[in-house]
Amino acid sequence: MLYWLATDGTIGVDGGYQSYNLIISLDITSEEFREVNLPHELAHLSIDLLSLCKLRESLVVIELDIETRNLVFRVWMMEDIVPKSFTKLFSIDIPDNVSEVYLKGFRKTGEPIIDSEERYPEWTGSLAVYDPYSKSISSLGVDGSDISSFEYSYIETLLLL
């Protein structure tokens, strides 16, 4: 399955533009497209504040809240038991109103990996791990700048084409 974020917009009878965010999925085997509706809290945000990621074998939507004093990432997971429904797993509060922070992905244990150009006394590198239970940020000891490092997820497979 391939997933991506999309926006569906319509012009109402009053002439106003209405839009909502959704996820489009493509089943590569059957070549079938499907729509996955997002919760109301996510469907009406700017699509620039949303991103998709994989946590273990589940699809997650990452919401960036820039309205508060501090940056907040909210992680929503799509439930497999109830198709196309989402549950908010946790929020990550970034201290000190830092503007250049990105949630890059997740470790195998489910802990989010974040990247920042800022440095803190307890966070010495640009890559760090957030523990949702203790709400602490721990450096991975990897240092770099936005032009010297890139992070990508990958999947290993033994399937032959």
- C-alpha dihedral over 105, 103, 133, 127, to 10 degrees? 90
Q: pTM to 2 decimals?
A: 0.74
Q: Where are the domains of the chain?
A: 2-139
Query: Cα 153 to the chain's mean position, in Å?
Result: 13
- Within 13 Å of residue 50, how many CA atoms lie on the same side as its CB? 22
pLDDT tens digits for range 29-76: 888 998 888 888 899 888 888 998 888 888 889 998 876 667 788 899
Six token digits for residue 18: 């209405």
pLDDT by residue, tens only, the chain of 161 residues: 788 899 988 777 777 777 889 999 888 888 899 888 888 889 988 888 899 888 888 888 999 887 666 778 889 988 765 556 888 888 888 766 455 677 888 888 888 888 776 555 455 557 778 887 887 777 777 766 554 555 555 556 666 55
For 24, counting Cβ atoms within 10 Å of its Cβ (0-12 exposed, 13-18 middle, 19+ buried), the class is middle
> Distance (Å, rounded) from C-alpha 3 to C-alpha 49?
17
3-class SS at 142?
coil
Name the phi and psi angles at 110, rounded to 5.
Answer: 100, -5
pLDDT the model gives residue 96: 63
End-to-end CA distance of the chain: 16
